[in-house]
Amino acid sequence: MRIHFKTSYEHDIRLFQDRWTLGVYAALLALAFALPYLIDEFYLGEVTNVLIWAIAGLGLMLLTGQTGQASLGHAAFLAVGCYTNTILIEQGLPFVIAFPLAGVITGVIGTIVAIPALRLHGIYLAIATIALSILADDIIVLMEPWTGGVSGKFPEMITIFGFEIERWTMPSRFYYLVLVVTICCTLFYRNLLRSPLGRAFAAVRDSEVSATAMGVHIARTKATAFGLSCMITGWAGALMGYYAGTFNNETFSIVISITLLMMIVIGGLGSIHGAFFGAVVVAFLPQALSILKDGLVGGGVAIPGLETGVFGMILILFILFEPMGIYGRWLKIRIWLELFPFARKDMFRRQKSYLKTERLR
């Protein structure tokens, strides 16, 4: 068991609590950079996919896990990021400008959309944002000259100062690009968490009245969260476009929105780890299922809705038995190991110690 003797406030401010944690993450980073030399191109592609989903997960996590605002409209922002990036590059902007800008534009659009939507709470907000997912499809078709409508678009090859990156022919270069974006987004997220704004997000999530009483402007904070969330989501969308190689009005459907939300719930709401754990599940579940299915009923047999069904079931099981998601479970296992053999059986039992009323207090 590790015991922290904190000797300065810096202990709680810096990125890594102690040498051990720093070591673990340094090793993880080294492994991530060495990965193209360790696994073959197929699996590298899969890992790239996980990272892209993780970025999208971070985007939604900031809004839902951190600020407590559910959204079923984030596929629309994936689309905005993806199309904006492609169009900007077609207009002649270099990737190093177009890509960051695509995220920023998505963020601005997200903020504008958020202002009316954020008057709604909880399930009502979720329902309202569904409309975004549905509208996105129509808007893409309507804006055919820009978006290519139903026939879709192919993103151009990425060039960064003459250095070419292509998902199929140079998977390791594309992997590194995605990895760098992942690291940047994770750092942004972490930095926000340890700053006043990140705490204001949590304050809005947990109690709007007392956040207000502490001087937090609720609507502005929510809109900021929405904007930042959409910015990260926009970057994920742009990368998804490159990863898929082609996209049209149906690529970013409502199903993607639902998958994203389920992903962060399964991963563990309110944590960076949760976005990554959830991404692993989302990215590998289809593969795992098809391998299982082939083994059980033989290949070639199609079971419609199998993936969605299993995914939904996993979600329900998590909500019932582990509302903190995979990250929550992971924490418990870690604490259990650290305390071994002193862990007590009911240590993690949730306790209700007082009643909350709905009235304004």
Partner 1 sequence: MSLLEINNATLKFGGVVAVNDLSFSVEEGEVYAIVGPNGAGKSTVFNLISRFYEPFAGKFTFDGQNLLDREPDEVADLGIARTFQNIELFDHATVLQNLLVGRHRHRKTTLLEEMFFAPRVRREEHRHREAVEEVIDFLDLQPYRNKMIAGLPYGVRKVVELGRALASGPRLLLLDEPASGLSVEETQDMRWWIDDIRKQMGITVLMVEHDMGLVSGVSDRVLALADGAKLAEGTPAEVQSNPAVIEAYLGAGAA
Ligand X SMILES: Nc1ncnc2c1ncn2[C@@H]1O[C@H](COP(=O)(O)OP(=O)(O)O)[C@@H](O)[C@H]1O
Binding site residues, partner 1, CB under 8 A: 9-10, 12-13, 188, 191-192, 194-200, 202-203, 205-207, 209-218, 224, 228, 270, 350-351, 353-354, 356-357, 359-361
Using rule CB under 6 A, residue 360 touches ligand X: yes
Q: Tell me the residue nearest to ligand X as measured from the CB.
A: 360
Round to whole Å and give the CA distance between 239 and 73: 18
Residue 110 binds which entry of ligand X, partner 1, none, with Cβ cut-offs from 5 to 8 Å by kind?
none
Our CB check for ligand X shows the closer of 186 and 212 to be 212
Output the smallest distance, CB 262 to partner 1, in A.
Answer: 20
User: Rule CB under 6 A: which of 340-359 touch ligand X?
Assistant: 359
Residue 91 binds which entry of partner 1, ligand X, none, with Cβ cut-offs from 5 to 8 Å by kind?
none
Our CB check for ligand X shows the closer of 296 and 360 to be 360
Output the smallest distance, CB 214 to ligand X, in A.
Answer: 20
Q: At which residue do the structure tokens 């080294």 appear?
A: 30
Q: Kindly provide the b/e burial profile for residues 262-282, where b requires at least 16 CB atoms within 10 angstroms of the residue's own CB.
A: bbbbbbbbbbbbbbbbbbbbb
Residue 130 CB neighbours (<10 A) = 17
Are 197 and 211 a contacting pair, CB within 8 Å?
Answer: no
Beta strands in 184-278 (DSSP E): none
Residue 211 binds which entry of partner 1, ligand X, none, with Cβ cut-offs from 5 to 8 Å by kind?
partner 1
Round to whole Å and give the CA distance between 34 and 48: 14
Cα-Cα-Cα-Cα dihedral of 178, 183, 188, 194, to 10°? 160
User: Whose CA is closest to 284, among 51, 37, 39, 36?
Assistant: 51
Round to whole Å and give the CA distance between 81 and 87: 10
- For 159, the enclosing helix (H) or strand (E) is strand 158-160
Our CB check for ligand X shows the closer of 351 and 357 to be 357
Residue 297 CB neighbours (<10 A) = 10
Residue 128 binds which entry of ligand X, partner 1, none, with Cβ cut-offs from 5 to 8 Å by kind?
none
Output the smallest distance, CB 251 to partner 1, in A.
Answer: 29
Residue 203 binds which entry of partner 1, ligand X, none, with Cβ cut-offs from 5 to 8 Å by kind?
partner 1
Output the smallest distance, CB 361 to ligand X, in A.
Answer: 8
Our CB check for partner 1 shows the closer of 102 and 282 to be 102
Our CB check for ligand X shows the closer of 2 and 359 to be 359
User: Whose CA is closest to 56, among 168, 189, 159?
Assistant: 189
Residue 191 binds which entry of ligand X, partner 1, none, with Cβ cut-offs from 5 to 8 Å by kind?
partner 1
- Lay out the site mask for ligand X across 300-339 (x = CB under 6 A, - = otherwise): ----------------------------------------
Contacts of 323 (CB under 8 A, 6+ apart): none
Q: Which spans of this chain sit near ligand X (rule: CB under 6 A)? A: 359-360
